[in-house]
Structure 1
Amino acid sequence: MNITMIVSFVIVYEKFCEPLSARLGLFNHFPSLFDKVLSTLTRLSHVIFAVYIPRLIIKLRYLMIIIFFIFGIIGLIIVFYHPKLSPPKSRRYQFFQLTHPFERFEYQMRDQFLSYINEDKENVTNPLLIFIFGIEDTDLIHPFYPEDGKINQNKQNLIYNKNIDFYDPNILRWFDIFLKDLNRSDLFINVQQTYSQWLTIGQLLRGFVTSTKEKSLPLNDQEFFVPSTRNQTILAMERLFNLFKGSNKFQSANDMTRGNENYRIGFLPDSKTQEIRAFLFTVNMNVTFNSYAVQDVYYNKLQTYFQKRLEQLRLSEGPNGHVYKQVKHGWFVSPQFLFYDLMREVIRGTYTSLIFSMLFAFVVLLLTSGNVIITIYAMLTIVFIIADTVAIFVLCGWELNILETIIIIMSVGLSVDFTVHYGVAYIKADWKKNETYIKRSSKSLHLLNNNHKEKFEIDKTIIDNEHSNKKETLFQRIKKQHQYGNIQRFRRIKNSLIRVGSAVFIAGFTSFLAGLSMAPSKLTSFSQMGFFLMLIMFISWLFATWFFLPLLSFIGPIDKFGDIPLGKLCRCSKLSSSTVIQSVSINDNEENIHEEQSLKNEIN
């Protein structure tokens, strides 16, 4: 877009606008004014990004590092510890600002109507829970086109578990034990209604199995009747299904919205063979789902309870248990778990996307800068930028919904730009160029307090390394090495700010203005996106300029320390390039030797 549009604008300007302005004389009086304004802005930009900002970064580098490091740690604490980024407490989604009439009714007036209050209570109080056996919990519908019949017409809706045999008497006995155990648990209510229907089915099976000519079996209304053989179970089930088909009462029981007034046990026969392929029963959960935290705690308890029942069965039967192998694929579901499952996947997807985005940013930074140290410092800066941005969202009352998830994931990409520009400019800075001029301006930059003798002594200490190591301690040698490296670090910082400082600021400022134009919107998505753009641009520029650069001025890499030899690894280097590099290095060495000799003459 930029390439094509810029070329088009240039062509239109040269062919139409410029000849028209020359004929009419519209801009004859403006060139001098334009030149004055342009020169003033240029001088102002040079003073800010070449003098004052480098001076502040170098003089206050320790203070800047400590302040922004503390801010970054505070942001991490707010996001991950307290008050913490949490999922939405309500299922309502805010489309407009709270001052909009639609949202005023939804968030202020809706709870004043008794019908809505009762509806909300019914949806979250003692919701229905369904246990399913014989069907795999696999969704074969296309994830992006769930309602498209052409795409999903050749796909099977249900996957049956062929390992389970519902005509096995041992399976029926375990179902009876499992229902009794549910009735004794505090996690469920209304289990007795389900079990009473289960006992009714047992009595019907008893009647179908017992012949009028045979002696009647012992009757116990409190125990489920299990046929003694598989053949008897098959015969009794067939008669039971024939009874269901001919009964209007059973056919009308098709509403499963609540489960208190309807049948709570169901069998699913195969459409072709009429054999039982699935079995389900419903109970009510002893909980009120008024928040995501309550749902999460109850769901984990429910999953632990179900796994313990299966583990008890496995231990009682052994590792090769016949019943355990058949019922271990059972699962449970509830309509009220839809919102919980959505929010859980949103949370997991957010963290997963952040991890992959950070890894991708790490690889890109490593390849772009070609230096491991720069990449590590940049990743630390990016982590602090994201943490502080999200922390401000948390303090503003934002909850982790769909839009907020997208915004958080986008923050990784938007926070990389400024840091990587400064990092690459630091690595590519030609700090040896115009070294004599930089020495003369060292007093204005406070690099060495204009003490040329100190500079010469540091250089002499590095050159005569073997002689000085015998007289100085390890700490003194490290200190002198660091002071010598500071000269190069400070020049690289200034060079990087001169090259990209103004461009980085203008890029952040224009993006900030784009967010500012979206902020007044009445749509929540637009206003939140605008606030996010303004905040991420401001925090990214602050951390990149006042934390990343001071960090480089303190312990940034010098010379080729931390560089990755990408040319050698890829075997891309050529003989001609090596010759050029060698000649350049020789010229630089000669220039440095000449400048060092002149510096010695000045001191002497």
Structure 2
Amino acid sequence: MEAPCSSDRPVCCETSKFPYRPYVFEECLKEAMNEITLQPGMMLNKYTAGPRFDRNDKLIGLIVEMPTNQPLSASFKEMDVFYTHLEQFLSPLLRSAPFGLASGWFIGDFQFYSLQKGLYDGTLTSVGLSLLVAQFVILVTSRNIAIALFANLSVACVIFVTAASLVLLGWELNVLESVTISIAVGLAVDFTAHYAIAYIVAPSSGDRQQRVEFAASRMGAAISMAALTTFIAGAGLLPSNVLAYNHFGVFIMLVMAASWLYSNYFFLPVLSAIGPQGSCCDLRCSSSCCTGIATDSDEHTTIMTETSSVKVTCATPASSRAPMLSSVSSNATEIIERQTVI
């Protein structure tokens, strides 16, 4: 800007004084960038600090590069502290900057840190969403709020114990570890869900102890064999020289062991102590809103007429038992006669 003015340089010369007008600044900045690119050994690319222009040579951005005293590290904790400190320092400055700089942001050599943070946040999100889905599925299948909550608590404990065991084994969060922890919910919910449904369909609806005994006697052997065979399958991956297979085998063994222990020695004892009795916390509709459901409280009686191919079930008030008996008998006789004719 200190060069004498001429016909070739009418603007970017000594006649222009600071602060420059916008059109002078942009025109001279373009000339300066052209001169820089002509210098030997000067390579400009999209990562080089400096101004950025669009296809119409209009200034659209500026990259300012500066060194820091933070060495590049693969440690998530160190880089997270540095990134947080830098963001807290620059965010107020950018918010109070002039209009052209207020929408700026900062970048750096945070590629590996970004991967680590994405894996960390994604793992927590996936586990949380998986627990919500498991809660919904168990609630729909069992139709009991208390059992769904107890089952989800058991599954959450399995996930936490598995993750803590992996940390004690020296695992570090990576792509493989993130995927394995994300699928842990699907493996951990199996045994607990079986016990929950068995508890629901137990014939002794009013006694917790008898319902737990029914669930354990009907499902205990099958669940134990399923856990054992899956545990052995995971153990078969341990001799592998491929790290991914080895880690997956360890993960399968931990999930199966934790899931079996918590389903048998946590979930069932909780049901035995404070499990729902009768219709407590039940989402099933009552006899007044369900068709064909008979309950003692409404003084209904169930009349069943069964033939080799016809089974008729009727729920009627006590006041109309005699007419209904006659009606059902005549209808059943008519159905049997039609079948005989056919």
TM-score interval (norm. to shorter): 0.7 to 0.9
Whether 1:393 aligns to 2:110 is: no
Structure of higher RCO (CA pairs closer than 8 Å, 6+ residues apart): 1
Letter of the 1:293 counterpart:
K
What residue number does 2:339 align with?
none
Given that 2:235 and 2:253 are in contact with CA atoms closer than 8 Å, whether structure 1 keeps it comes out as yes
Task: Tell me how far 1:270 sits from its aligned partner.
Answer: 2.4
What residue number does 2:3 align with?
207
Superposed, which structure 2 residues align to 1:342-381 within 5 Å?
Answer: 342-381=115-154
Superposed, which structure 2 residues align to 1:214-229 within 5 Å?
Answer: 226-229=18-21
C-alpha distance in 2, partners of 1:241/1:491? 85
C-alpha distance in 2, partners of 1:558/1:519? 45
C-alpha distance in 2, partners of 1:241/1:545? 73
What residue number does 2:43 align with?
253
Superposed, which structure 2 residues align to 1:64-213 within 5 Å?
Answer: 205-207=1-3
What residue number does 2:85 align with?
301
What residue number does 1:591 align with?
none
The Cα offsets for residues 148-174 of structure 1, whole Å up to 9 and x where unpaired, read as xxxxxxxxxxxxxxxxxxxxxxxxxxx
Whether 1:506 aligns to 2:253 is: no
Letter of the 1:252 counterpart:
M
Given that 1:508 and 1:541 are in contact with CA atoms closer than 8 Å, whether structure 2 keeps it comes out as yes
Q: What is the alpha-carbon root mean square deviation over aligned residues?
A: 3.1
What residue number does 2:31 align with?
239
Letter of the 2:230 counterpart:
S
Structure 1 residues 239 and 574, CA, compared in 2 at 3 Å: closer, same or farther?
A: same
C-alpha distance in 1, partners of 2:302/2:211? 19
Counterpart pick for 1:289 among 68, 72, 83: 72
Given that 2:4 and 2:14 are in contact with CA atoms closer than 8 Å, whether structure 1 keeps it comes out as no
The Cα offsets for residues 400-447 of structure 1, whole Å up to 9 and x where unpaired, read as 111111111111111111111111111110127xxxxxxxxxxxxxxx
Letter of the 2:95 counterpart:
E
C-alpha distance in 2, partners of 1:232/1:269? 16
Counterpart pick for 1:427 among 195, 200, 216: 200
Given that 2:5 and 2:15 are in contact with CA atoms closer than 8 Å, whether structure 1 keeps it comes out as no
C-alpha distance in 1, partners of 2:262/2:180? 19
C-alpha distance in 2, partners of 1:343/1:312? 31
SS at structure 2 position matched to 1:399: coil
What residue number does 2:263 align with?
544
Question: Normalising by structure 1, what TM-score?
Answer: 0.45
Whether 1:404 aligns to 2:177 is: yes
Counterpart pick for 1:517 among 218, 231, 236: 236
Q: How many residues align structurally?
A: 297
Whether 1:531 aligns to 2:250 is: yes
Task: Tell me how far 1:508 sits from its aligned partner.
Answer: 1.1
Structure 1 residues 238 and 284, CA, compared in 2 at 3 Å: closer, same or farther?
A: closer
Given that 1:418 and 1:540 are in contact with CA atoms closer than 8 Å, whether structure 2 keeps it comes out as yes
Given that 1:370 and 1:566 are in contact with CA atoms closer than 8 Å, whether structure 2 keeps it comes out as no
Question: Normalising by structure 2, what TM-score?
Answer: 0.78
Structure 1 residues 526 and 583, CA, compared in 2 at 3 Å: closer, same or farther?
A: farther
C-alpha distance in 1, partners of 2:235/2:72? 39
More helix by share: 1
Whether 1:332 aligns to 2:106 is: yes
